[in-house]
Structure 1
Amino acid sequence: MDEVFQLEPDDIYWCTADQAWVTGVTYGIIGPWAKGLTQIHYTGKFDAVDWFNLLEQEKVTIWYTAPTALRMLIQDEVRILDKYTLPALKRVYSVGEPLNPEIIHWVRRVVKREIYDTWFQTETGAIMISNRPGLEVHPGSMGKPLQGIEAYVLAEDYSELGPDLAGSLCLKKGWPSMYRTYLNMEEQYKSKFHGEYYNTGDQAKKDADGYFWFIGRNDDVINTSGHLVGPFEVESVLLEMEEIVDVAIIGAPDEMLFEKIVAFVKLKEGLTWSKGLEVQARIRVTRQVSPIAVPSEFVVVDRIPKNRSGKIMRRVLKAQYTGQDVGDISTMED
């Protein structure tokens, strides 16, 4: 925890992750207790005022949360804006899904602190790539690998790709917390490795400065008209619109395009979707991503389905859109 969180003995630490998930166990129980930290555990339902009361009254100094929670705070901004100063809070960290630039700007403006994105998986056992104090934050980037972690963006033949080229995010085997197997699924475990590399299943790119940028899960990347589009970059652009408070992008079968891009959007309370908003959205995506990445369809929803760690459940949206069975939804957040 030292390199990322840079904790001090008198810090008061709050990780908002569910204790049944890997973040809640690793960074919400084992890690902070092993460091002898004072920490907060809260089992109540989400409420913006309750959370900010807790942050202020308990003098939380290090706050580790998720983009989903921060987006919910953004929607409730009127209840907390200018009402809390959080004098004890030093830094905010995020985990569970990519951190959109729009959220970073909001935290800087409203909370008046820096926020650092972190990336890891259950399989990695610990944070592998992260933004942290001492490393300049590039909004939208995952940051850089931690000391001793060798991360690469590789092509299908496992050759290393150059700057800004999308490929598979892979880690060189041998990091201390590397998982040993999938229980009773040894062949699936072996399939995750190619020689010295563990394939994370994520698509990413690495820029000339060594920063990594998340694109999407391999099975989330959309193949539209022969071009690969990552949901995250489109979602990030749409979230910059004041009218949109949450969004999810999926690929749906299409006879002409192979897959068409469908945007599910949740609007700010009291607003309705209009042709004008759709035009604005299309122009933004065209200018900031690509004309190819413009959604073919916008669907207004009351909520975006996510699991308890904050990850968008795209398979649920895709199943609902195509009229298929949504399958197991026991991990969906309340």
Structure 2
Amino acid sequence: MSPLQGVQETLLDRTLTVFSFLCLPFSLLVQHLTSLSMSSLIPYFLPYFLSLIRSRWTHEHREGNEPGETTQITYRQLLVQVCQFSNVLRKQGIQKGDRVAIYMPMILELVVAMLACARLGALHSIVFAGFSAESLCERILDSSCSLLITTDAFYRGEKLVNLKELADESLEKCREKGFPVRCCIVVKHLGRAELGTGDSPSQSPPVKRSCPDVQGKLKEKSKRIRPQISWNQGIDLWWHELMQEAGDEFEPEWCDAEDPLFILYTSGSTGKPKGVVHTVGGYMLYVATTFKYVFDFHPEDVFWCTADIGWITGHSYVTYGPLANGATSVLFEGIPTYPDVSRLWSIVDKYKVTKFYTAPTAIRLLMKFGDEPVTKHSRASLQVLGTVGEPINPEAWLWYHRVVGAQRCPIVDTFWQTETGGHMLTPLPGAIPMKPGSASFPFFGVAPAILNESGEELEGEAEGYLVFKQPWPGIMRTVYGNHTRFETTYFKKFPGYYVTGDGCRRDQDGYYWITGRTDDMLNVSGHLLSTAEVESALMEHEAVAEAAVVGHPHPVKGECLYCFVTLCDGHTFNPTLTEELKKQIREKIGPIATPDYIQNAPGLPKTRSGKIMRRVLRKIAQNDHDLGDTSTVADPSVISYLFSHRCLTIQ
């Protein structure tokens, strides 16, 4: 019996009874999703939905960009605001089935806007506030959004983002392309101090800190200018003025379980972003259930997921999952390193966070600064730690467990995708022995398989393509406006399976290990190598903080390894270090994995969600300046630097 089976015996009956209603054969799912009617599921889904709007005195805590900028809101207050904004949307002509674009930072109004759309039956399409005006325009046009919700501006760390200016630019682009958005609702965020609080959630001013450099930053912040924003009469409307006139009762629009809940765009390997569509019943049921069991949720918990709501993790485990379980949670507007690198652990202590969920990128970033910024805080409240977004290398996992969790908190290393809605592979805290870097086992009802290039299922220890053999409630239902792309992207390569696009290894104990995107698998002299495995070996060296490995054409091997390494503070890149790193890889993996090239990379090209853009790194390695779309790169200057310092290669 596997470690998971004992747990399943007590829980499967409770979850799979409901899941079975939604687990149709893939053939039916692909061919008939647009005509499915599953109203019979409403009795199962309704309790979760009602928990979103029930009157509870549980809080959601919002921590602003500056330490001490604190807001608390109860479920009762949230219900009132959601009803008010539902009335606002209705007055602006929004009806069930309409699409509403949301372009906002991590503020409470973002959650209110999401839930108001859901209450009205409209589809929200949230665009990450770090995206460009062009990216926003592209998404508005693709889903024909009739209304945009944004803010005046916000600070991300010390950086001012004039969001209204970007929104205006995007709306102008939409008009030029023949699609005028009829209304833009603007939250006065930086100008919030000018507004009366009334019955709004309780707020606290920034607190004074004893640390001189932090106190200096707060004084500097008070001198920051508030940008002047342009105002377009007839289109722009202030959020606070509309809310003052809105009633605080709104009867929810009843929806079929298969009605769409939201659209969220995710990048494709080629072509424009895909509008992933999730539905009311299946998605809500799945995120509510995964949240409850994966994080071992109890009513007294305080949950904090550091993800931005502009990504699927924020949808599922900042908003819908926690709220559907009546959780007290934390909403964080800032960044981990501002005003100092101990910000996260200060917040953990401040709110007595019990369950903490973040990305390996953040963990590796904070590792560079050592243990002291973490250990100077208590963190005694922490019970469960989680990771999301990419495979976590064992070195980062061990630091997270040893330093952040003080070797007492189980880690749930979760694998899932925008398309899956919720967790697919994950350990259950305290119930399954942990293996650093492994996503462990499938969640209830999930049926993974590993296929070879011919589409044959591999048994026992194996490595190949990760697929799923049967649907689950949270699976996306289509690509908005392009169902053919949905079929082609996820079901064509291996008919009868959902294709994740990820490589995976299953060990002798049945644990699953994500090895990276299948296009990141390298074939060196006929040997299949995982980029994640090589990166992990590099990062075991004390000098390396982060690493990325791509393939490069080789006249003899066919393909060789080109490595980018970011060094920890205090280390210097030189030929001696290069040889040490090659030796380390030979010792950890074998001579076949010895890199031909290792380049110093003070920074790596990443998306705004923190994922390394290996497609761009492959172009840099080959000195190919035809990069395609780089609109999602967080810091374009990194690309220029890497091109100018690339290794001299042969092809």
TM-score range, shorter chain: over 0.9
Q: Which residue of the other structure, out of 481, 486, 489, is the alignment partner of 1:189?
A: 486
- Do residues 118 (structure 1) and 118 (structure 2) align? no
Residue 177 (str. 1) matches residue 474 (str. 2): yes
* Structure 1 residue runs of 4 or more that deviate by more than 3 Å after TM superposition: none
The residue aligned with 1:328 is 629
RMSD value, Cα: 1.6
Query: 1:167, 1:3 → 2: CA distance?
Result: 29
Give 1:129-168 correspondences, 5 Å limit: 129-133=425-429, 134-168=431-465
Tell me, in whole angstroms, the C-alpha distance in 1 between the residues paired with 2:576 and 2:374.
29
Higher relative contact order (CA 8 A, sep 6+): 2
Aligned length: 334
Q: Secondary structure at the match of 1:17?
A: coil
Larger Rg: 2
C-alpha displacement of 1:325? 2.8
Larger CA deviation: 284-293 vs 168-177: 284-293
Deviation at 1:321, TM superposition (A): 2.6
Query: What is the CA-CA distance between 1:185 and the residue it aligns to?
Result: 3.1
The alpha carbon displacement at 1:94 in A equals 0.2
Moved more, 175-184 or 32-41: 175-184
Question: Does 2:349 match 1:59?
Answer: no
- For residue 76 of structure 1, the aligned residue among 357, 369, 377 is 369
Alignment of 1:163-312 (within 5 A): 163-191=460-488, 192-193=490-491, 194-312=494-612
Structure 1 residue 79, shift from structure 2 partner? 4.6
CA distance in 2, matches of 1:40, 1:204: 33
Larger relative strand fraction: 1
Work out the CA distance in 1 between the residues paired with 2:606 and 2:356. 21
Q: Give me the TM-score of the superposition, normalised by structure 1.
A: 0.95
Instruction: Report the Cα distance in structure 1 between the residues aligned to 2:539 and 2:508, rounded to whole angstroms.
Output: 26
Question: Are 1:163 and 1:205, in contact at CA under 8 Å, matched by a contact in 2?
Answer: no
User: What SS does structure 1 have at the residue aligned with 2:462?
Assistant: coil
Where is the helix percentage greater, Structure 1 or Structure 2?
2
Stretch moving more, 268-277 or 91-100: 268-277
Contact 2:463 2:504 survives alignment (8 Å): yes
Q: Distance in 2 between matches of 1:258 and 1:144?
A: 35
| Other structure's SS at 2:333 match | coil
**Contact conserved, 1:18 with 1:308, CA < 8 A, in 2?**
no
Task: Report what 1:46 is aligned to.
Answer: 336
Partners of 1:326 and 1:137 in 2: how far apart?
Answer: 40
Q: Equivalent residues in 2 for 1:21-32 (5 A)? A: 21-32=311-322
Which amino acid in 2 is paired with 1:124? T
Shift of 1:218: 1.2
Cα 1:78–1:173 change in 2 (3 A) is closer
Q: 1:13, 1:37 within 8 Å by CA — same for their partners in 2?
A: yes
1:17 aligns with 2:329: no
Offset of 1:181 from its aligned partner?
1.5
Q: Distance in 2 between matches of 1:41 and 1:333?
A: 22
State how far apart, in whole Å, the 2-side matches of 1:330 and 1:46 are.
23
Judged with a 3 Å threshold, the aligned counterparts in structure 2 of structure 1 residues 278 and 102 are, in CA distance, closer, same or farther, namely same
Q: How far has the Cα of 1:264 moved from its partner?
A: 0.3
Distance in 2 separating the partners of 1:227 and 1:184: 41
CA apart distance, 1:70: 0.4
Deviations 1:48-93 (A, max 9, x none): 2211111111111111100000011101225514301211111110
The normalised TM-score by structure 2 is 0.50
Q: Percent identity?
A: 38
Letter paired with 1:2: K
Aligned residue for 2:633, secondary structure, equals: coil
Instruction: String of CA shifts for 1:83-131, please: whole Å, max 9, x gaps.
Output: 0121111111000000111011112221213322100011111100012
Q: 1:30 to 1:245 in 2, by over 3 A?
A: same
How far apart, in 2, do the equivalents of 1:96 and 1:72 lie? 15
1:104 aligns with 2:404: no
Aligned partner of 1:37 in structure 2 is 327
Q: Which amino acid aligns with 1:115?
A: I
Give the secondary structure class of the aligned counterpart of 1:145: coil
Which secondary structure state, in structure 2, belongs to the residue aligned with residue 286 of structure 1? helix
Deviations 1:106-159, CA, capped at 9 Å, x for gaps? 122212133221000111111000122111111121110011110011122322
For the Cα contact (< 8 Å) 2:607–2:632, is it kept in 1? yes
Which secondary structure does the structure 2 equivalent of 1:216 belong to? strand
Contact 1:151 1:172 in 2 (8 A): yes
